[in-house]
Amino acid sequence: MVARGLTRLRLERGTADCAAPALLRALAQLPRLTTMELVNFDVKRGTADCAAPALLRALAQLPRLTTMELVNFDVKVGFDDALAECKNIQRLLIIPTYVSQSATTNKQVLSGVLRLKDTLTHLMWGVTIELLRVTELFIDQCDQGGDSKKKDIGECIPVLKPVPGCRLPDEHQPVAGPPQVEILPLPTLQRLLSAQLPNTKLKILRIPFHATWRQSLADFQ
């Protein structure tokens, strides 16, 4: 079959449906696949078989697959454990949907990528401009003391506590917010990743949502 010889595959889908079991079976028949792109995968109304963890575990079984691009990918609890099984992946692009529960999404992504520290050579994490703006508004609403220091913090993302990885840098300044959410400035996130993934080339990508589907690892060497 021609399909068995595929080395690169890009799939664009809407909300996952009952076709997912067939998709998982089809992926198992692609032993030569080296690059996988999944764009606009949303499992909100899908069954357990088509959830992101099942899909990632199927990809983890492909021995030649080394590059994975997850763009506008629906990240929920369990994503980190499934991503951690993808020891075959060396190059990873992840841009979550950030539709809701962004703090949980970021914790899942961070937890998952840190567990690939022995195999990951390149990591590009896309953070939408829309998320950064919402987080800025969130900080403004939570800051009751009028502390001017918040103006120097810069762009931040929310991460559900406890934040995966080593302790935060000594210079990290806590930002007002709910006790269960840590507000991480992007430079702090970069340092945390660099400390935990010393052999991985990192890039935190700031990007508007409308441009997310045009992103790839092609120029990230």
Segment 57-69, tens digit of pLDDT: 999 999 999 999 9
Report domain extents, the chain.
3-128+187-210
**pLDDT score at 151:** 53
What pLDDT does 43 receive? 55
pLDDT at 170: 52
* pLDDT per residue as tens digits for the range 174-202: 555 556 899 999 999 999 999 999 999 99
CATH number listed for the domain at residues 3-128+187-210: 3.80.10
186-196 and 102-114 helices, crossing angle to 10°? 20
Strand 181-185, strand 156-160: pairing: antiparallel
> Please, which residues have CB within 8 angstroms of residue 59's CB and are 6 or more apart in sequence?
27, 36, 65, 68, 86, 88, 89
Low-confidence stretches of the chain (pLDDT < 50) are 1-2, 18-19, 45-49, 148-150
pLDDT at 168: 53
Q: What is the model's pLDDT at position 104?
A: 95
